[in-house]
Amino acid sequence: MKPSIFTISETVTRFAGHRVTVASAFAVALIWCIFGAAIGLPTEWSLLSNMIGTLTTLFVLLLMQQSPALQVKVDELIRSSEAGDHMIGIERLEADELSRLVEERQAGV
């Protein structure tokens, strides 16, 4: 059985949010900087690390957007705030319904 995008998204979200992952990423970046300064790595290495970091961030963010747990948390935050609850579940709307909602919000209805 192939894992669905939601299963992959939940796994990535759980892994990326773990404190060990964050601490490891910080340690790797710190070691990379110290190592590069100590042996005088060329600027291409700095550009490479910047590109890898940017692409990794983009990939993780795109996967996290598909997380159903994240959508539930956002819905709960909307419910607990003073904002209206008419935006809860907006991610499940069809394109034409979403367009109509956007037009209504822009018109101030």
- Any idea of the CA torsion for 96, 98, 100, 104, to the nearest 10 degrees? 180
Can you list the positions of beta strands (E) in 1-109?
Answer: none
Residue 35 has pLDDT above 80, yes or no: yes
% of the chain surpassing 90 pLDDT: 2
* pLDDT for res 27: 92
Residues 50 and 79 occupy one common structural domain: no
Quick: pLDDT tens for 71-106.
Answer: 777 777 777 877 666 677 777 777 788 788 778 877
- Cα-flanking dihedrals φ and ψ of residue 4, to 5°? -80, 165
Residues 89 and 56 occupy one common structural domain: no
Name the more confident of 41 and 5.
Answer: 41
Residues 3 and 41 occupy one common structural domain: yes
Burial class (CB in 10 A: 0-12, 13-18, 19+), 78: middle
Residues 58 and 27 occupy one common structural domain: yes
Residues 18 and 55 occupy one common structural domain: yes
Residues 4 and 41 occupy one common structural domain: yes
Domain hosting 24: range is: 1-66
- pLDDT, average across residues 27-41: 85
Phi-psi region of 108 (alpha: psi -120 to 50; beta: other; left: phi over 0): left
